[in-house]
Every structure is written in C-alpha cells, then in structure tokens.
Amino acid sequence: MSPSISAEDKLDYVKSKIGEYPDFPKEGILFRDIFGALTDAKACVYLRDLLVDHIRESAPEAEIIVGLDSRGFLFNLLIATELGLGCAPIRKKGKLAGEVVSVEYKLEYGSDTFELQKSAIKPGQKVVVVDDLLATGGSLVAANELIHKVGGVVVESLVVMELVGLQGRKRLDGKVHSLIKY
C-alpha cells in the first residue's frame, strides 16, 4: 500500500502543472492557465480531492454547487457528484433556456451579463459558487447577486486560483477561499 499524499503535496503538484503564458491576452499580462493542470490525470484527481475536501470541511451545509461560465463548469458537476449534491450553471447572456434572472457586471474594457435560471435554486437553498479564477472579483460579485435574486444563500465562493494583487476578494461579501494564490 502506498503512503497517503498530503493536501499540501497535492496542491504543490497541481500548482506545478498550471501553465504560465506571458503577454497573453495582451502585453504585460501573465496568464495562468488551468488547462495545463487538467491535461494531467494525477493533477485532475488531486484537484478534485482538494476542492471536495475543502467543501466537506468548510461548507458541509452546502446543498447545490454553482459553476460560472465557462471554466467553473469544469468543477461544479465534478464536486456535486462527489458530494451527492445538485449543480447549476451561471452563463453568459442568451445561453440558458426558460425564465432567467440577469445581472450586468463590469469588465476591464466594458461589461457583460450573467444569467441564472430562476428554477435552478430554491429560496433558502445553501450555495457554493465555484470558478477557476478570482481576479478583479466582477464575475463572482455578479454570481452572488444572481443567487440572492432567486433567494439562494451563498455559503462560500471557492476558486482554484486567486490573483491577490488585483484585490478582487475585497469586493466580495462572505466566505471566499482560493486553493492557490499568486
């Protein structure tokens, strides 16, 4: 039987697989690419373990996992399945059928709109929001607003990576956790 690997070792391994691309999408930006980790089978397993274990410990009351368009989708179904919970998407405008609620949010150069199906979250339901990256915080703020509009209760926002220098965390209310900080 092989020895168990620690959470810290799992995190170090995942971090070692995250790609770095200077000057993408524009000069002066160092793009951290989660897909580098997701192409490695061991990193995928470790990342799943870290996300699921964190929610088990930090938000055991969670009833539904919400993933943000588009890389948050890579995690919400996986986490929900492991925890025996439901999951729901928050998508860009025009991508969801049925009755939706919308919120516009600011981007570096303009704005965008997120939508959530009204029926996806029941009033009072406890929600964990998951995404790959916390940068300026705009998308997570919008997601939290949407969830509140339909009566959900955000118990935690969980991201794989956080760009600390952009101070997006300061814009968010409630519990926020990032696995990796840059």
Residues classed as catalytic: 71, 108
**CA angle, 130 as apex, 109 and 18 as ends, to 5°?**
75
Query: Please, how many CA atoms are within 13 Å of residue 145, restricted to the half-sphere of its CB?
Result: 16
Instruction: Identify the CA nearest to 63 among candidates 74, 54, 55, 75.
Output: 55
Token pair belonging to 42: 């061991």
The DSSP line for 106-147 is: EETTEEEEEEEEGGGS-TT-EEEEEEEEESSSHHHHHHHHHH
Find out whether 38 and 74 touch, Cβ atoms under 8 Å: yes
* Cα separation, 6 vs 9, whole angstroms: 5
* Cα separation, 72 vs 124, whole angstroms: 22
